[in-house]
Amino acid sequence: MARDGSVVPADPQAMALVKKKTQSSRSWILFDASGQGSLLDVDKYAIMHRVQIHARDLRILDPLLSYPSTILGREKAIVLNLEHIKAIITAEEVLLRDPTDDNVVPVVEELQRRLPQVGSGHQQEGDGKEYNVGQHDMEGAEEDESPFEFRALEVALEAICSFLAARTTELEMAAYPALDELTSKISSRNLDRVRKLKSAMTRLTARVQKVRDELEQLLDDDDDMADLYLSRKLASASPVSGSRGGGGAWFAASPTIGSKISRASRASLATVHLDENDVEELEMLLEAYFMQIDGTLNKLTTLREYIDDTEDYINIQLDNHRNQLIQLELFLSSGTVCLSFFSLVTAIFGMNIPYTWNENHGYMFKWVVIISGTISAVTFLLIIAYARKKGLVGS
């Protein structure tokens, strides 16, 4: 494998072959500004040389290492680690890791569809006539002239927000019926089912919370958002680097960047008006997806509250049954005391010790045994009837 990497045309058969390779974790797909993709099977040194990032930044994208969701702005690249979406975005291209993954394939298709910049100079109608973009179409033209890195970032954010929202919806569809079934019938099977759903909800909440925290941290720091304006930094640094000869390594790493600096400069000038402190465009983009991921987190919070309410209801039910059992035990103990009293009377009359009052009164023993047994049986039946009335024992 060459250090500088080999470029292969991106077609379905080639992607299937890459998926079968043992080194598939090193496979990348590269998208240029026109949305054309090319498969790359390179090592980390070639990627570091191409996008000018450090090894510690590339390590964040390693699928074998567990790193939380992160959006890092570097001098010439954006390092993006959002769950299964692991990408490196520059001012001219996007490198997406593991393009054959089932969860990444929709992102690949969306990048191919949305990365090409739509021209805003003319508009073609159905009858074949061309019309210049008027005053009313300026707003749409400005959206079409968004920097390349923002269009790629928007695709990634939209994909991860949709993915987490879909997982939340699936969890809700499984959790609410299980909780309702548990409230109607408390059994080991239902309890174990709810336990697994609660564990899945906890893990999903942590993932959603991390993405939300990352977006919130970016929104709270204008400097971090300014670091993500790669086209602006490229447009402002290109004359200096060209005069000093410091950009040779970058042009060698990305051959197409030289021919597109003018376009990136025009886009940067049109969107940010040469104001390095203007981060309004990116702020609006991040706020939109922050609200979406915050809505997903609110759904999970509502589900957690529903689970907690169900647990409280079940605990109340169990406490009620426990109190009923304690009450039954109390009545049985009272009945036992009553039976013990009559047993004591019977035992006294059944002793063989001679009594003066027992002479010529043998019939008394028979009557005491009959009366004691009758009272004991009636007392026992009354206790059972009361317990059935209260629902302490079954019928």
- Structural tokens at position 88: 């490196």
pLDDT at 260: 43
- Structural tokens at position 311: 């647990």
Instruction: State the pTM of this model.
Output: 0.68
Per residue in 219-265, pLDDT (tens digit) is 998 888 888 888 888 777 655 444 434 433 333 344 444 444 444 44
Spatial distance between the Cα atoms of 347 and 364, rounded to a whole number of angstroms:
13
pLDDT at 197: 93
pLDDT at 176: 93
pLDDT band at 299 (very low <50, low <70, confident <90, very high): very high
Spatial distance between the Cα atoms of 221 and 342, rounded to a whole number of angstroms:
85
State the average pLDDT over residues 285-307.
Answer: 94
Spatial distance between the Cα atoms of 130 and 65, rounded to a whole number of angstroms:
53
- CA count, 13 A, side-chain hemisphere, 292: 17
Residues constituting the chain: 395
pLDDT at 281: 87
| Statement: residue 168 has pLDDT above 90 | yes
pLDDT at 122: 40
In a 3-state reduction of DSSP, which class is residue 26? helix
Between 209 and 389, name the one with better pLDDT. 209
In a 3-state reduction of DSSP, which class is residue 343? helix
Contact 52, 39 (CB under 8 A): no
| Statement: residue 196 has pLDDT above 90 | yes
Closest CA to 160 of 102, 101, 103, 244: 103
Per residue in 281-293, pLDDT (tens digit) is 889 999 999 999 9
Burial environment of residue 318 by CB neighbours within 10 A (0 to 12, 13 to 18, 19 or more): exposed
pLDDT band at 358 (very low <50, low <70, confident <90, very high): low
CATH architecture, domain 25-117? Beta Barrel (2.40)
Report the mean per-residue pLDDT for the chain. 75
Identify the weakest region by mean pLDDT among 199-213, 298-312, 356-370: 356-370
Contact 41, 1 (CB under 8 A): yes
Domain limits of the chain? 25-117, 319-352+360-390
Neighbour count for residue 41 (Cβ, 10 Å): 20
Contact 68, 210 (CB under 8 A): yes
State the average pLDDT over residues 118-127.
Answer: 43
Identify the weakest region by mean pLDDT among 40-49, 269-278, 340-349: 269-278
- Structural tokens at position 336: 């036992």
Helix axis angle, 148-184 to 230-244, nearest 10°: 150
- Structural tokens at position 30: 């590269």
- CA count, 13 A, side-chain hemisphere, 34: 6
| Statement: residue 142 has pLDDT above 50 | no
